[in-house]
Structures are given as structure tokens and as C-alpha cells.
Amino acid sequence: MWAEWPSLSYTPLTIAFKAAGSPPWLNPLYFRSISVGSDLWRQKYLYPMIFDMLYIPLTSTLVRLATCSDGYVQIVLPSGATCACIDHFGYFWGVGLAGFVALYLSALRYKLYTEPLATTMDFRFQTSFQIIMVMARTLNPIVSMLVSQLDIEQHPAIGSGIALGFLFCMTLLFCYNYKVQPCIGSGRLPNNIRALTFSSAMYASLVVLAFIGASAPITDLYYALTPLPLLWLTVWRLNNRRALQFHIPDKSILGLLSDATSSTSRAVGTIAALYMDPSKLHPLQYNALMGRLQQLVESPESLDPSIRVMALRILWFSHIQAFRKQKAPIEEVGKTSAIPFKHYLKDVENAHRTPSVASSSSPPTQPVKPRIKGVCIKIHRIHHVKEPDVAQSSLLRNNTSSVSAVAPCGSRPSSENLFHLISIRGKRWLAKDETPEDAVSGLAHIFSLGVDTLRDACMQQHKTAMQDSARFLLEWYKARYVRLSGGTYLRALSALCSTSSACSKHVLDVVHSLHKLTLDGRLTPSLWLRDVECLSYISIGLDAPSASTVRKCAWMMALVLQVAEADRTRNPCVLLTPDAMHRVCAGLRRWTDDYIICATLESVATETMPRSTSSLPEIVMVVDLLESVEFKPNSMDRASKRSLARTEGLSLVAPSVLKEVEYRRATRRELVELLRRTQALHEAAQTPDLRMRGRNGPAHRRSRAYDLAEAQMSLVMLFTSAKRCALDDYVANGLDDALRTFFEANIRPLLENTTLKLPREHKRWWPCT
């Protein structure tokens, strides 16, 4: 990294030297052979030296070896031949090109796979940035080769073009380095060095452009380079202010946790404590570490909610060994009021949940690598680990005396060690020496902190924290370590749903579980209304690809809104967020062939209308749980007393959407009226009338036949011309049995035999807000 500073700064100057006809300052060195030792020696010394420190000189040497550039020392073979000999040029070209390609690919592989695993540095660069830097370093030999081969002294415009391209590349790298600060960890110094490198190369390129444009003597170039130290000082101070925002102090884990001035340091310390190996700590440091974590989780302002969940996981494992010595779970509420175990259900009958559909985007022959999310807390076996006599390479980097210097008074190591090492599925944790009763009390307190963290994450709309805390609580529930109340269970599942992709199995399972519990009466509408945000959280299920999932989600939303409308103290129009209403409108556009979904979403859209100040609209029930478990919204197409065109007050539903809803409902009502009229005419035509046997009898029969044919034609026209109304599914699921039987026997054959050609209808799109 230090070598990049002079190398990239010198690269544009070669253009000026060639244009001025002066010899360059530096000549490349040819590196002959380097002996290779052990793997450890290669990873710690050889690879960084070749692919970092000497990468630019090596690539420059190989490029010039392959191109046989003039003005440089040439290798002489034992026969006295050089690359200038036409008969031997192919050997030099092949060796130089093969070496350049091998070195370039090896450098990319080193930056991708080897360097991220190194343990000799306290910082890491982003892998994508390291790949860009390998390409940027390769510019040095390429530019040098072009400068040596082209006649820039006679054609200075070519040199200006090369310098301008180099300036463009360095400017992009400088802007990216300043904005992103790609060095992760204690990276203030590396980020500043890279800023110096790119700014120096930019200034040198500008000087070269001015030098070539003015055709000045070479001494003017040297004078123009004298302000470089002042530029370096300015850039260092400028980038240092930016780098301090991303810098993590080079402290121990306990020192990071005790840093009261930086929340970032505490977050990094918590993450390091979660994934560290406690066996590398001195036993006297156990109390200080766990005591500091306990203090951080007690104060919500000390940690970000997502980091707080990680600290709770560490404390959870410290009590689990003693907790498992007794059988009773933690009771948030009584057993009769709690959600029973095994009620997080998988929607196994859903075809969109199968692995083949979930992984259809990837090739079938390519195995899918599992993604590890957090730490699994369902314990099967705990092994006691014997504490080492001497801590090996302590991660805290502090001895007994230095711990007291950074730890608070309440967390200083005492003579009595309260923790010991355990192993769970190969991962070592710190476990507390306590009785089962104390473990139950400790875990109950951690559980209450987890519930508070979930509530805080929902209030802050912190998506990552919502997902982590919801999974943390659900892992307790699925492992049967805690009985959740209906409110906590509803909040956890809805938070998990809102932070997952609509196509993921979590959304399908959450909607299926909530639907089943709502049908069983364990999650009542009044419980939903206590936490109205959950209704908007589960609306992500309306974007699911599965029709059954969308139907269940819409049903729950419609049920809660109908109960809310019956309560005069609540305003249904504020129960859903704009994002939730946007999904409702999108569902109306998407599911135009499914009557149940259409009718339910239409009810949701109309229930969120502001209440009229003159009269309260009649409640239109979507489902009656006491009559049937299966939802058939037959009554949703009745003419509502609410005027959909009148929107008094603020509404999240656009008038065009309400107009579309009214059009669909009016079309279905018209279909029912035509069917009843046609059925009556058909029955009248089949019944003989004895009073019409006179001379006017045949005329009357022709009149009734004509009326029947006209009604049937009107039905065919309505059925074939109406769009987006799900009439076909409405006949199958919305009509009563008598009308459905009459339709299938008398109207369906006419629809199959009709030859009407309807004009093409343009797609209608309407806004959602």
C-alpha cells in the first residue's frame, strides 16, 4: 500500500519525460527467483510482498519483457541473444505474457480468498475495492509500455490523451475512497494513505497535461511538483475528518465495550464478543466481560437494537446450562392464556413453498449454500470444557492489571470466578455458576429485555433489529423455553413478516399461522386492534405469489377493519399505512380473476374510507366465523349505503380506485339481476298458460320467447364484455346454488358457442395514493 504512493504518482510523469526527451528517473529491476517455504511463511511474508509491495515493479518488468521496450536493461541469454533478436523474441514475449497473466490472476485470487483470512492486520479492505485496486495497479505497467512504444515527443496529443485517461481513473478512485472509506476496522491510516496516493497521482496528471500543452522546459515540471507536500498535508487533514466517522479504535473487546464515547465501538465489541472463542481469554476476565454486557443491555440507549439482540444471545447462553436442569418453561402469561407450543405452522400444502420453486432461479446441479442467520438456540447437548491453566493469545490483549483500567468498577474481575466454559455444537460459550432457580430468574429478565427490544425496534422501524429480535423470541418459543402471550406472538410474527421478502417461506408460514390462530379464536380482532401496526406489517403477504396466502392475508385485514368500524371510538382509515394501502391497490390490479381476493380487497379499500359526519354506514360483514370456517363473501356485492364517490376527510385510497371498486360491484349486481330475470322467464316459458289458448296465444308465446332470448343475449354480452370483475370465479364461488345451476345449464353453453368479437380493451391503471 505504501508502494502505491510513489508508483502511481510517478506513472503520469513518464509521459512528460518522454515528451521532453529526458531519460526517466527509474529503471525496472528484473526479479529472478524467490524460494518458497511453508504455508505460514508464504501467507504472512511472501504473498503480501509479491502481491502488495512488489506487484507494480513485477508487472512492469513482465510487461516490458514481453514488449521489449527501448531504453531499459535487457536480459541476455547465454548465447548472447536478447529480445531485440527477431529469432528469439518469441521466447521473451511468451515468458513475459504468461508471467503477467499468472501474476494478475494470482493477485486477484489472493485478494479474494487469501487476504480476507489473514490474522496479521487490524483492518480489512472491502473485497470489491481490492479487486479494483489490482486493476488500478496494473495501469502502471500498461501506461509505461504505451509511453515507451509511442512517439510522444513528436505527437504530444497522444500523451495528453493517456494522461487524461489516467487522471479520470484516479479521480474516480479518490472520490470512491473518500465517500466509502473502504478500509474496515481500524482503517483511518490506510484510508488516508490511499487518499494521498490518488490525490498525488491526480495532481501529477494535471501537471503533465499543463506541461505538454505549454511545451515548457523540463525544469518547469520540477517546479510545478514542489507544492506536492502541501497537497499531501491538505488531503490528509481533509480525509482524516471523514475517516474518523468510520474508524474503530484499536482496542481490546472489553475496551470497545467500555468506550462510552462511541456507539460504533460498543457495537463492534458486542459482535466480537458473540463470535470470539472464550477459551482464549484469561479466566479472570470472564466476570468483567459478562458484567459489561449486562450493563449495556440494561440501558437501551447504549446499543443499537440489533446489537442489543446479540448481547442478549451471549447472556442467554450464560444461563442455559443451569436452566435446563429444571423442566418448566418461562411463563409470560398463564398456560390457558398463552399460545400453545407447535403453533408456528408451516404452509406445507402451498405449492410456492416447495424447494424446487424457491430455488428455481439457480441451476439444479448447483448446491445451494445455507445462510447462517444468528445462532441456533435449540440445545440438545452441553459439554463442560476444562478451563486452560494459562490463556492462549488473549483476545482482550490485557493482563489482570490492565483490565481494571478499562472496565467499570462494577465489572472489575474479582477473586471469585463466576463463569466457566461450555461447548454447544462445537461453539464455546461462557456459562454462569448458579442454581436452576437463579437461571430461571435471569432468563425471565433477558426475555423481558428481548420483548422491550422488539417493541423499540418496531417504534424505530429498524428492519434489521425487528427481524433479529423476532427470530430471537421465536427461537425461544419453538424450543419450548417460553410460553408467549398472544400479543407478543402476534408482534413477533408480524415483525418477521414485514422484514422478509414476499416470496420467502417466512411470509407464507407467518400468514398461515396467524390465519389459523385467528380462525381458532386465539388471536381475536380486539387483540389485533391493541397493536394496529401488526395489520400493516402482515400486508406484505398481499405481494406473495401464492393465491392462498393473499386470500388469508386479505381476510384477516378485512375482519379486523370490520370490527374496528363497528367501534365508534376508532377510525378505520388510520389503521393502515400508505405502504399497506399501496399493496391493497396492487392486489386489486393483480388478482382480477379471483373473486374471493377481489371482494375481500374491495372491502378493505372501502372500509378505510373516512366516516361520514351525517350518518354511519351499514356494516357490511365479510365473514362470519360462527357460521363457516371457509370464507365466501356473498354479501359483499350488496349495494352499500355509503357513497363511494363522496370522500369527506383524508383518505389513502384514490377516487379512481373507489370508482373501479364500484364498477366491479355494480357489474356483479347487474349479473345477479339479469340471472334472476332470465331464470324467471325461462320458468315461465316452460309452464303452459291455459288462459292464452285463444287467438292471441301464439303471439304471447312468441313475445315470451323473444324476452327470454333478449335476456340471455344480455347475459352473454355482460359476461363477455365485463373485465377485471372475476365473473367466472364469482359464478363458481359467489352465487347461490339455484342461480349457479341455472347458469351452468342454460347460459354456459351459449358462452361456449358465442362468436362475438369484442373490441380490444386498453389496460386501466390507477394510482394508489
State pLDDT tens for residues 50-85. Answer: 776 777 778 777 777 777 766 666 677 777 677 767
Given a cut of 70, whether residue 539 has pLDDT beyond it is yes
Cell of 564: 374496528
DSSP 495-519: HHHHTS-TTSHHHHHHHHHHHHHHH
490: nearest Cα among 560, 390, 587, 549: 560
Specify the pLDDT at position 353. Answer: 79
- Edge-first strand order for the sheet with 383-385 is 383-385, 419-424, 427-432
Distance CA 89, CA 134 (A): 28
C-beta atoms surrounding 164 within 10 Å: 14
- Number of DSSP helices (H) and strands (E) in the chain, helices first: 31, 7
Q: Which one is predicted more confidently, 66 or 118?
A: 66
Confidence category of residue 705, pLDDT binned at 50, 70, 90: confident
Cell of 542: 398481499
Which residues, at least 6 apart from 636, have a Cβ–Cβ distance to it below 8 Å?
Answer: 599, 600, 602, 603, 620, 622, 665
Kindly report the CA angle at 448 between 443 and 453, in degrees rounded to 5? Answer: 120
> What are the respective helix, strand and coil percentages of the chain, to the nearest 5?
60, 5, 35
Q: Is 306 in contact with 424 (CB distance < 8 Å)? A: no
Given a cut of 60, whether residue 696 has pLDDT beyond it is no
Given a cut of 80, whether residue 374 has pLDDT beyond it is no
Q: Which one is predicted more confidently, 609 or 546?
A: 546
DSSP 401-417: HHHHHHS-GGG---SS-
Specify the pLDDT at position 769. Answer: 42
Distance CA 374, CA 105 (A): 35
Q: Residue 280: what residue type?
A: K
- Residues 448-492 have pLDDT tens digits of 999 999 999 999 999 999 999 999 999 999 999 999 999 999 999
Kindly report whether the global pTM for this prediction surpasses the value 0.75. Answer: no
| C-alpha dist (Å) from residue 666 to 634, 636, 637, 659 | 14, 11, 8, 10
Cell of 50: 509479491
At residue 536, the 3 state secondary structure works out as: helix
- Residues 550-571 have pLDDT tens digits of 999 999 999 999 888 887 777 7
506: nearest Cα among 309, 350, 342, 313: 350
Helix axes 486-498, 436-460, angle to 10 degrees: 50
Q: Is 138 in contact with 53 (CB distance < 8 Å)? A: no
DSSP state of 538: G
At residue 430, the 3 state secondary structure works out as: strand
- Residues 218-229 have pLDDT tens digits of 888 888 889 999
Q: Residue 77: what residue type?
A: L
Domain ranges of the chain: 4-243, 250-352+377-499, 501-657, 662-687+698-753
What are the start-end ranges of the H helices in 637-696? 655-686
Average pLDDT of the chain to the nearest whole number: 76
Confidence category of residue 541, pLDDT binned at 50, 70, 90: very high
Q: Is 733 in contact with 595 (CB distance < 8 Å)? A: yes
Given a cut of 70, whether residue 390 has pLDDT beyond it is no
DSSP state of 385: E
